[in-house]
Amino acid sequence: MRPIVPRPRLLAAGAALLVPAALLLGVPQALAAPPALARVPSTMPRWLASGQARRDAAPAATGTLSVRVYLAPRGGQAALESAVGALSDPHSARYGQWLSADQYRAAYRPSDAALSRVRGYLTGQGLAVTGVEAQRRYVSARGTVAQLQRTFHVSLRRFSHDGQQVTAPTAAVQLPPTLAGSVLTVTGLDTTVAKMTNRQSGRSVTPPPAFANARPCSTYFGQLTATYQADYKTKLPKFGGKTLPYATCGYTGPQLRTAYEADSALTGKGVTVAITDAYRWQLIAKDASRYAAAHGDPAYAKGQLSESLPTSYRHEDECDPSGWSGEETLDVEAVHAMAPGARIRYYAARSCYDDDFSAVLARVVDENVATVVSNSWGDAGEQVGTDEIAAYQQVVLQGAAQGISFLFSSGDNGDELANTGFTSADFPASLPAVTAVGGTSTGIDWDGSKLFDTGWGTVKYTLSRDGRSWSSVGFTSGAGGGYSSLFNRPAYQQGVVPASAPAGRAVPDVAMDADPNTGMLVGQTQTFAKGVHYGEYRIGGTSLASPLFAGQTALAVQQRGGRRLGQLNPVLYASRSLFRDVRPEPSRVGVVRADYSDPTDAGSPVVYSVRRFGRDSSLATAAGWDPVTGLGVPKVSYLTGLKTPDPAVATAAR
């Protein structure tokens, strides 16, 4: 699960001569647009009101920028959204009549004429057209600042915002009316960098360095009570008058399958689950096979785990390429644990930046081999630009039209107030056409039966120096959730999300285990203090919840004879009885966790802390839909109980 890295709130060093952006916007535009021009609203930077315009604001006219001009789908964006709505609505006569990739292209790929108009206009303004995306999603071009200002009828200025020094337009792009209908958005004029990060929780970096869980820990919830430290001589204090259990060592595939799927014979056979992350972990097949053999998961069949890789990578230090290897490991092993017969296809993005992630999703929908897509990454809040939002929407809508179900982890920072300065759901989890997966703290007993689910939100307490009491450190992590400021409340949430809740698309939709203190045990080759070798560790985050739910959904698709479910939410909200409502569990206070002071060295001293359950920033678990667990946790009946019209029967009836 890869949340977008929150942008620093402090200005970078050297940005001394600043004036408010609002003052700059008040001066006459150097290139005022004639009244006949049409505005492209998705190109207005959303951060302008809070940004600071530099006193040396005018960039050099001869400086160059690269842009992407995204073409609108044939017939227009509104027509595509309407069609997807009909295909995804179980009450519609068109429900489930998914398009193939070729049918989608025939109906919605930008026409030759539209492409010709856009290319002709760009070259006519002196820009160099450097490429056209394979499916005509966008035209790449490059030009000087002066050329770009003239082409898009904007004034480009230099700003400081959220710790970045950027060039950006002071207003939305404007184009001739004959062209505006062919253009969805323009990216690259605003040089703000939005960086996606994984949503795994419970460790710092995946390798290097390694992560090792300390002992004591429990093989199932409640096995060991935290009465003594590891030396079995030194007592631990009670917490609130109670003796808490030690955290689990991490649940294995068989434990998770039993807890969520009981004795189901479904395996996901015949269904392909896609996983998207940044970069590629070269030892994933070896590590995943070793983990499966060690813990009772079926072996991978030949070709069951495959890859779709870019032609090159952008190895940016900010992206921490090695860190993404842990995300890939978690996603692959979690999907296989839940759906051991499903095919898994891993799609690697070139980097952790927005443009590369929208491109990797485009590969998924163009190949059209996956039925379910698990995405364990995202932005902290909805700080992504309107131009990139339009690019993501375009590809997700194509996938929905083809019957592909997109899942996104909801985030690991609760309401995001501490990261962004305001409460917000995360993006792309807030897209109405995707299913946002929130998190629980989950107890699994010795026989694999479920003991409890409660909303994931952790407050940490450390052991005092004298070892006699616990002191609060505060909130550390919890399931992301809240209400979108970008998207209206979709129809499928009306009457389900409380009317008293803030307006906007509500996140998440469903939940599964995400607490790193009740998380999954995974295995990966890592760099330890004494060398590189395979090791196993407990991990969590909504990065775990998303692939777990993807695996369960693969089983539900298999039960339906392989028929795709498309945009899941209209079906899920109409099938609320298949979800167990998650409510507060006052008797489940939390756990004591033992950690090595140096996670790479199992010989380092052990430190102890209490991780209290059910404390997710300002978000609360409650009866009915809530912003921590959504509709709740899928019951075993989710695998067989999804009742949707059979498109073949509906077509014959007409």
Q: Quickly list DSSP for 394-445.
A: HHHHHHHHTTPEEEEE--SBTTSHHHHSS----TTTT-TTSEEEEEEEEEE-
Most confident of 42-51, 143-152, 381-390: 143-152
Task: Please give the torsion angle defined by the CA atoms of residues 350, 352, 356 and 362, in that order, rounded to the nearest 10 degrees.
Answer: 100
Q: Assign 29 a pLDDT band (cuts: 50, 70, 90).
A: very low
- Average per-residue pLDDT for the chain: 90
pLDDT in tens, 219-278: 999 999 999 999 889 999 999 999 999 999 999 999 999 999 999 999 999 999 999 999
Contacts of 441 (CB under 8 A, 6+ apart): 453, 454, 455, 456, 513, 514, 515, 517, 518, 588, 613, 614
Q: Is 35 a residue whose pLDDT tops 80? A: no
pLDDT in tens, 190-222: 998 877 877 765 443 345 478 889 999 999 999
DSSP-derived secondary structure letter, 8: P
- Could you tell me which of 516, 492, 480 has the C-alpha nearest to residue 628? 480
How far is residue 291 CA from its own chain's centroid? Answer: 25
Alpha-carbon gap, residue 393 to 397, rounded angstroms = 6
Residues 335-341 have a mean pLDDT of 98
Query: H or E stretch including 84?
Result: helix 77-88
pLDDT in tens, 68-124: 999 999 999 999 999 999 999 999 999 999 999 999 999 999 999 999 999 999 999
pLDDT in tens, 578-619: 999 999 999 999 999 999 999 989 989 999 999 999 999 999
Alpha-carbon gap, residue 645 to 88, rounded angstroms = 11
pLDDT at 567: 97
Q: Assign 321 a pLDDT band (cuts: 50, 70, 90).
A: confident
> Amino acid identity of 165?
Q
DSSP-derived secondary structure letter, 447: T
pLDDT at 372: 98
Q: What percent of the chain has pLDDT over 70?
A: 92
- Of 15 and 57, more confident: 57
Task: Please give the torsion angle defined by the CA atoms of residues 552, 554, 558 and 562, in that order, rounded to the nearest 10 degrees.
Answer: 150
Tokens of 498: 């409380």
What are the b/e assignments for 184-210, b being 16+ CB within 10 Å?
A: bbbbbbbbbebbbbbbbbbbebbbebb
Query: H or E stretch including 334?
Result: helix 321-338
Q: Is 649 a residue whose pLDDT tops 60? A: no
Q: CATH code for 254-584+619-649?
A: 3.40.50.200
Alpha-carbon gap, residue 152 to 231, rounded angstroms = 70
Q: Is 374 a residue whose pLDDT tops 60? A: yes
pLDDT at 502: 94
| Helix (H/G/I), strand (E/B), else coil: 538 | strand
pLDDT in tens, 141-172: 999 999 999 999 999 999 998 888 999 999 99
Alpha-carbon gap, residue 564 to 644, rounded angstroms = 11
Give just the sign of the alpha carbon dihedral 99, 390, 278, 260: negative
- The backbone torsions φ and ψ at residue 362, rounded to the nearest 5 degrees and listed phi first, read -65, -40
Q: Is 23 a residue whose pLDDT tops 60? A: no
Contacts of 182 (CB under 8 A, 6+ apart): 71, 72, 110, 114, 117, 118
* Domain residue limits, the chain: 22-72+110-192, 254-584+619-649
pTM of the model: 0.92
